[in-house]
Amino acid sequence: MRDLISFKPSRSRISLIAGLFHTLQGTWNLDRKLQSDDPTAPSGRCSGKATFTPTPPSAVIDSDGKLQLADAELLYHEQGEFEMATATAAQQSPLPLKFPFSRKYIWRLKRLDDGDDALTISVWFTKPGTNMIDYLFHQIDLPLSQDDGDDTDTDTVLLLHGTGGHLCVADFYSTAYSFSLSRTAGPSATAMLSSWSTLHEVRGPKKDQVIETKFTRA
């Protein structure tokens, strides 16, 4: 069962991030738009499903040779169909192309050693063709304002925003996250993640594209 997030003023940053992580579990509808400025690269739309499944924490060795175990891990698996919006300069086909896509990542929740309020979410690549963790994509920076802990009768939706970055050879992926949490009725004042989105801006010598993805509960 997915955890609920408390909306009470006593909610700490740790409980908020941990609750957000665990409410990702389950199946999501995926709607993605990909726009490439390079006419030789594809642009189009993806539709499909994405699932988060709890998995045993992976053993990761850091740069100092120390074993780092996460507090929790989720296997992310997306799959569906990509429809190319227009033919690329190389394709020269009058009909749009459609083909399946599938991708996996590992999302990790981990408490850091440098403070009581240091709980982080990070996203990792998986080894090709497996569910095994490979290397870091990015850590999601989730700065929380003091208002995120306030609780009023009008707080029916809580929006959390995060960012991450990844350098792939010479192309840089700049990512923005937006998480929308809906408040439940009643004295418990808990919340469930109802939708979320990602925006990747990829800039570099080989790529110049924007990838926007929206997720809603399936």
Q: What is the CATH number of the domain that holds 72?
A: 2.40.128
Q: Quote the pTM value.
A: 0.84
Asked if the model's pLDDT at residue 5 lies above 70, the reply is: no
Phi-psi region for residue 77, left (φ > 0), alpha (ψ -120 to 50) or beta?
Answer: beta
User: For residue 28, is pLDDT > 60?
Assistant: yes
Q: For residue range 75-98, what is the model confidence (pLDDT) as tens digits?
A: 999 999 999 886 555 555 556 789
Q: What local confidence, expressed as pLDDT, does residue 90 receive?
A: 54
Q: Measure Cα distances from 137 to 86, 98, 102, 103, 175 in Å.
A: 30, 27, 17, 13, 11
Q: Average pLDDT, stretch 112-126?
A: 80
pLDDT: which is higher, 12 or 141: 141
| Domain, as residue range, for 77 | 5-217
More confident residue, 32 or 11: 32
Q: How many CB atoms lie within 10 A of CB 28?
A: 22
Question: What is the reported pLDDT for 40?
Answer: 81
Q: In this predicted structure, what is the pLDDT of residue 181?
A: 87
Each residue of 121-153: pLDDT tens digit? 999 999 999 999 999 999 999 987 645 544 444
Number of domains in the chain: 1
Closest CA to 94 of 84, 105, 80: 84
Q: What band does 13 get if pLDDT is binned at 50, 70 and 90? A: confident
pLDDT classification of 162: cutoffs 50, 70, 90: very high
On average, the pLDDT of the chain sits at: 84
Between 134 and 112, the higher pLDDT residue: 134
Kindly state the average pLDDT of the residues 95-112: 90
Question: Which pLDDT belongs to residue 95?
Answer: 67
Distance, in Å, from the CA atom of 195 to the CA atom of 182, rounded to the nearest integer, reads 9
Nearest to 196 by CA among 6, 25, 1, 12: 25
| Per-residue confidence (pLDDT) for residue 61, from 0 to 100 | 83
Most confident of 39-43, 95-99, 106-110, 189-193: 106-110
pLDDT (tens digit per residue) in 196-208 = 999 999 999 888 9
